[in-house]
Amino acid sequence: MPNIPAAVLAAIALAGAAPAAAQSVPDNVVRAELRPGWTTPDGTRIAALHLVLAPGWKTYWRSPGDAGIPPEFDWKGSRNLGSVTFRWPRPEIFELNGYRTLGYRDKLVLPIEFRPATPGQPMRASAHVSLGVCEEICVPVTVDVAADLSGPGASDPAIRRALDATPGDARAAGLSAAHCTVEPIRDGLKLSAALTLPSLGGGEMPVIEVEGSPIWVSQATARRKGSVLNAEADLVPSDGKPFALDLSRVRITVFAEGGRAVELQGCDRG
């Protein structure tokens, strides 16, 4: 498999869809705000990035697939911000010119949990966000959002709906074992996962990620045999060489028809 970054694949796939000159880009292709949300009993803050896209346009999930551009966040302008945790809603699956991507059409409410560096002190979140937004072509977009996150805040139905739409816990869905093996390939590693998991329904599609790493991961192949779902994917780092993989950083999300999705973090060495 060639060492092709996801952003380059995006350009190839989308350039094949239509010439840029053939489509005008709306002036307000994306509007963005940071919904301030509410403070939890633990002292964290549940807020959300809210994107509204021009009709028919889409943006991407954290792992965009074969030909997407993942979002990037820069929180340098924030105050008293200790950590940030994203709660990604289930994405839609798109097929275009033989490429599969995952993302959101028309809008996205992305819940974010903020933890203050100093508990009990005022907190302000400020982000510079880089996105890929696409219709027949893909264009890079940057937006700036900010919100004061002090005080109790208030419950937000839009954020709660987005939280309800996140993938479920795989163990709650019946996962009893997750074993992974790795083997070197020319430009990285091949990861094979065996998940003992009851069927989620038709069209099961696992997506493999290496959390907190820029490693490119190929579209996984899947095969179910009774109670075991097998998945394989190639993992390619920027230098195109085999590497040491921490299996606790492997995250696997399994999607199925009907919008069902479950997620697990880490797997045991098989």
Alpha-carbon span 97 to 14, nearest angstrom: 9
> What amino acid occupies position 221?
T
Q: Where are the domains of the chain?
A: 6-164, 168-269
Q: Is the CATH number 2.60.40.420 carried by domain 6-164?
A: no
Q: Where are the beta strands (DSSP E) in the chain?
A: 30-39, 45-53, 58-65, 72-74, 81-86, 92-96, 99-105, 107-116, 124-134, 138-148, 168-169, 177-185, 188-196, 205-210, 216-217, 221-225, 228-236, 250-255, 261-265, 268-269
Alpha-carbon span 117 to 149, nearest angstrom: 13
pTM above 0.95, yes or no: no
Alpha-carbon span 235 to 85, nearest angstrom: 24
Candidate CATH numbers 2.60.40, 3.40.50, 3.30.310, 3.40.630; the one for domain 168-269: 2.60.40
Q: Please indicate whether the domains covering 6-164 and 168-269 agree at the CATH topology level.
A: yes
Per-residue pLDDT of the chain (270 residues; tens, 9 = 90+): 334 444 344 443 443 344 343 456 777 899 999 999 999 999 999 999 999 999 999 999 999 987 778 899 999 999 999 999 999 999 999 987 778 899 999 999 999 999 999 999 999 999 999 999 998 888 999 999 999 999 999 999 999 999 999 999 999 999 999 999 999 999 999 999 999 999 999 999 999 999 988 899 999 999 999 999 999 999 999 999 989 999 999 999 999 998 999 999 999 998
Q: How many CB atoms lie within 10 A of CB 133?
A: 22
